[in-house]
Each structure stands twice: as structure tokens, then as C-alpha cells.
Amino acid sequence: MSDTGTLTWADFEAAEPAFAATVRERFGQYTHHALATLRKDGSPRLSGIEADFRGGELWLGMMPNSRKALDLRRDPRFSLLANPGSGTDMGGGDVRISGRAVEVTDPDALARYAADAGAPLPFHLFRVEPAEVVRTWVAGEEIHFATWRPGRALRTLSRGNDDAPPREDG
């Protein structure tokens, strides 16, 4: 955990380096991904977004007053799904990160990020605090689910295409 008591992307990378590398690689295959936020009435909203891994953090940048930014200001909970790509092979599986998005409002921090990322101001910038990271993939005749949550070991469940219960791989 960071010195502020919040979980950072770097904390996740330190806890599960191989899994974090797989997740980051999967997000790196495409530029655009899908962000789920909550509307004012509690219903879900899906929006396109770019994810930026920089300086030990996962960042979400948005246009000024975009609906997704206003959603996150009101309720910071989100899920981010890596672009599944074309066809049915899923390019390494589905990868999803859920947690809280914390808005960065300090003008100096925004200016530093803008200069480093080459992003034109103004924009909303949110730092991700991951609460769950999930990868789902198919290998052979089985589907596998790897799940990480803060303070817990990486857990992988597998199952075939039958009515047998999933088994935990270990």
C-alpha cells in the first residue's frame, strides 16, 4: 500500500508481478478499451477509454465534463475491460480491472502528467485504485479464471464444458 493508505497499481505489480505483467500486456494490445461507470440513477454506463500505465500508476484521462468523468466524480467505482480485439480468439483472454478512480485535481500534478504524457490540457485525470483484477481465458477444452484482490493470493479456477464443478488450480 502507498504511504496514503490506498492501493496503487505498483502495489498490485509488487504483489503479483507475473499476473500484473500479463494484464498490462493484454491492455497494451489495443489503444481503446471499455469503461463501466454508474450513472446518477445507478444504472450502468459503458464508454470507450484509453488506459495509461505510467509511473507505477494506472491512469484514466477524460475530456472535460464528459459523462464518464462526471459519473466517477459522483461515484468512483468502475470496471475497465481490455479491448477483446477482433474475432473469437480474445488475444490472451478477457482482462478486467475494477476498483476506485480517484480524481487528480492539483494543477501542478495535472501539468506534470500532461507534459509527461503529451496530453493537451484541460482534461480530467483519475488514478486507479485496483480492488479486483480478473483474467479469463480458454486453453484446450477448459476455461480458466484468475482473480486477484488486495491482501489475498492470486486464485485460479478452471472448468471444462460439462456440469462438473470448477476446481481450484494451485
**pLDDT digits 0-9 by tens, 76-133:** 999 999 998 877 666 678 999 999 999 999 999 999 999 999 999 999 999 999 999 9
Closest by Cα among 78, 50, 58 to 13: 58
What does the CA dihedral 126, 131, 133, 134 come to, rounded to 10 degrees? -130
The residues facing 104 across adjacent strands are 125
For residue 90, the model assigns a pLDDT of 66
pTM value is 0.91
Flag whether pLDDT at 60 surpasses 50: yes
**pLDDT digits 0-9 by tens, 130-164:** 999 999 998 888 999 999 999 999 999 999 988 98
For residue 3, the model assigns a pLDDT of 47
Burial class (CB in 10 A: 0-12, 13-18, 19+), 30: middle
The residues facing 44 across adjacent strands are 38
For residue 92, the model assigns a pLDDT of 75
